[in-house]
Amino acid sequence: MNTRYRKRAQGRRGRQRVRPQAPRRASAAVRWPTWRELARTNQPAEPWTLEGGVRLPVRRLLAYVFLGALAFTLYVGHVYATRAALEEVQRLRREQLQLVLRYNRLRGEVDRATSPAVVYERARALGLTEGFTYGPVVIKSKP
């Protein structure tokens, strides 16, 4: 070992530093494959070729078919849900119309029973007389 290096490596405390060794390179006899070679060997079988030269892998085609079926199913479900909601709205409108008609009929009966003509007839039947005189003013006395 070189004496200059030994002094530099010992430092202040007198310990000798150990240099990390560089990793050994593979010998020339072993040839590792490149990334392109690995990519070529890992490619799937020949993908489907559609008209016009469009190539479509099987997995992607299955994914598109699945997504299309899912979208169609959601659309059909939405149509049935909308029809059910429309039927419910129409039923509630018919019920509301029946309630309004019943309210108007009952309101008419109350109005006929409490109309001034009926009240005056019943008052005459009880012996009351019609007049414009009013009774005395009622004043509440203090206790």
What are the pLDDT digits (tens) for 26-61?
556 788 888 888 777 666 555 556 666 667 688 888
Nearest to 123 by CA among 111, 135, 115: 115
Task: Please tell me which residue, 138 or 94, carries the higher pLDDT value.
Answer: 94
The position carrying tokens 């020339």 is 28
Query: Residue 124 and residue 80: Cα distance in Å, rounded?
Result: 65
Asked if residue 1 belongs to a domain, the reply is no
| C-alpha count within 13 angstroms, C-beta hemisphere, residue 12 | 0
Q: Distances in Å between the alpha carbon of 17 and those of 6, 10, 14, 24, 105?
A: 9, 6, 9, 21, 109
Say if residues 48 and 56 touch (Cβ distance below 8 Å).
yes
Residue 92 has pLDDT above 90, yes or no: yes
Task: Pull the structure tokens for residue 86.
Answer: 């429309």
DSSP reduced 3-state for 137 = coil
**19 in any annotated domain:** no
**Whole-number Å distance between alpha carbons of 77 and 84:** 11
How many other C-beta atoms lie within 10 A of the C-beta of residue 61?
13
Q: What is the mean pLDDT of the chain?
A: 81
20 inside domain: no
CA atoms lying within 13 Å on the CB side of residue 4: 0
In the predicted structure, residue 90 carries a pLDDT above the cut 90: yes
Residue 11 in domain: no
Range of the domain at 72: 36-125
Please count the structural domains in the chain.
1
Which pTM does this prediction carry? 0.43
Residue 31, in any domain of the structure: no
Measure the CA–CA gap between 22 and 32, rounded to whole angstroms.
20
